[in-house]
């Protein structure tokens, strides 16, 4: 909403006329750059810039999108599901692009100062769930939230989870991430007073069916206040958590 506020301030100060303001608000709601149609009004509607899904796109396509966003001062920009090789190729053209290999996330521009109402706790059952957790944690930070990370605290060693009761009780939103049988969100849901967003991961042996077992367990949770996103969807959980954390 900063763009809209700046325009209104200019109108109030007499630097812009009503007609000029109307033109700025209508001008180019999206730009067709050939490889993509970039939604420059996304931040006005949603409070965050358009996010680039890196999987399936070439380094050249992502570079073109980033350069177009940079030219329009539509920063920061988040790129998810980005392989290290693509990130290295992008950085040759856009040196200021920062890559976070642990979450396969890239960011162009400065992270915002947190303005959420509380803390988002990102909690994993195991170390193998960290790639999804880092996607969630970095996305939440990109969206202006203070994030607390608590990894490898699954129900296979319940004492590890109970050692983090203070963080659980202080959180405004919890993202609970687990593979295998997906039990962690149910346990956390029975301890926390805040919303719990459950993320099943594709971690597990054969009968985990690539995360389907964890997904079904989480959907059948007996704990109140637990919602579930798709398998390995750390980004989706973080976006929803940010919306909750920015409510009045």
Region of poorest pLDDT, from 15-24, 47-56, 148-157, 214-223: 15-24
- For the CA atoms of 110, 116, 227, 47, what is the dihedral angle to 10 degrees? -60
For the segment 19-37, what is each residue's pLDDT rounded down to a tens digit?
887 776 665 667 677 777 7
- Between CA 156 and CA 224 the distance in angstroms is 22
Are 218 and 138 in a shared domain? yes
Q: Which helix (H) or strand (E) holds 60?
A: helix 59-71
pLDDT in tens, 102-117: 999 999 999 999 999 9
> In percent, how much of the chain has pLDDT > 90?
72
Residues 102 and 127 in one domain: no
141 with 88, same domain: the answer is: no
Average model confidence (pLDDT) across the chain: 90
pLDDT higher than threshold 70 for residue 190? yes
- What mean pLDDT comes out for the span 239-248? 95
- Classify residue 40: in a domain, yes or no: yes
Predicted local confidence at residue 27, as pLDDT = 58
Distances (CA, A) of 153 to 119, 156, 159, 183: 18, 8, 8, 12
79-88, 131-140, 156-165, 193-202: which has the minimum mean pLDDT? 156-165
The verdict on 100 and 131 lying in the same domain is: no
pLDDT surpassing 80 at residue 48: no
The range of the structural domain enclosing residue 126 comes to 119-245
**Residues 176 and 239 both lie in one domain:** yes
Q: Is residue 83 part of a domain?
A: yes
Of 88, 108, 128, the position where a domain reaches its end is 108
Same structural domain, 73 and 38? yes
- For tokens 């367990």, the residue is 217
Looking at the 3D structure of the chain, how many domains does it have? 2
CATH number for the domain including 152? 3.40.50.1970
């Amino acid at each position: 909403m900063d763009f809209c506020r700046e325009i209104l301030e200019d109108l109030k100060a007499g630097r812009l006329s009503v007609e000029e303001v109307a033109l700025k608000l209508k001008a180019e709601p999206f730009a067709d750059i050939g490889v993509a149609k970039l939604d420059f009004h996304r931040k006005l509607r949603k409070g965050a810039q358009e996010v680039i899904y890196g999987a399936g796109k070439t380094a050249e396509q992502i570079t073109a999108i980033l350069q177009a966003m940079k030219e329009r001062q539509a920063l920061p920009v988040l790129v998810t599901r980005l392989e290290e090789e693509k990130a290295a190729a992008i950085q040759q053209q856009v040196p200021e692009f920062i890559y976070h290999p642990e979450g396969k996330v890239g960011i162009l521009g400065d992270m915002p100062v947190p303005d959420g109402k509380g803390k988002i706790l990102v909690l994993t059952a195991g170390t193998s769930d960290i790639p999804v957790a880092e996607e969630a944690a970095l996305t939440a930070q990109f969206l202006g939230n203070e994030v607390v990370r608590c990894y490898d605290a699954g129900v296979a060693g319940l004492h590890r989870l109970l050692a983090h009761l203070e963080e659980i009780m202080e959180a405004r939103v919890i993202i609970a991430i687990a593979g295998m049988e997906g039990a962690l969100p149910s346990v956390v849901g029975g301890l926390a007073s805040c919303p719990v967003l459950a993320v099943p991961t594709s971690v597990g042996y054969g009968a985990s069916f690539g995360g389907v077992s964890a997904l079904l367990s989480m959907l059948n949770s007996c704990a109140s206040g637990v919602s579930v996103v798709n398998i390995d969807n750390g980004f989706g959980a973080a976006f929803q958590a940010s919306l909750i954390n920015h409510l009045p």
